[in-house]
Structure 1
Amino acid sequence: MKARLRQVMYNLLDTALTRSGVAERHRDRTVDRGDGALVIVQPVDQVPKTLLINTFHGYD
């Protein structure tokens, strides 16, 4: 059960990042922290901070 929940969580995280415009090439490998995940996004012009924050967190 936990393995399935973890898989779903990572799928949702990947979908959220992708929809935010943060492609896999813009981020390092996701690190499992036990109670969450660490995602490092590379600072490139294709991923402006405002796009990441506004889209990923759902702010308008």
Structure 2
Amino acid sequence: MDKQKAIRKYANTRKNSDKRWYAMTYGMALLHGHTPPNRPQGLSYMGGQAVEMEIRDILREG
């Protein structure tokens, strides 16, 4: 499975809309070499960290 598809699959499984948005935009920004976005206000610090770690794992696995 390619990285973009894996990021989409992970983002679509998130129930919180802020997590879903952040996972998609953070993952695509890193994948395409752009600056990652700031966390949305409705997303906790720990929630943001969890999303970031999971996306980095997806990108590392290749």
* TM tier, smaller: 0.3 to 0.5
Answer 1 or 2: which has greater helix percent.
2
Larger radius of gyration: 1
Q: Which structure is higher in strand share?
A: 1
TM-score in terms of structure 2 length = 0.39
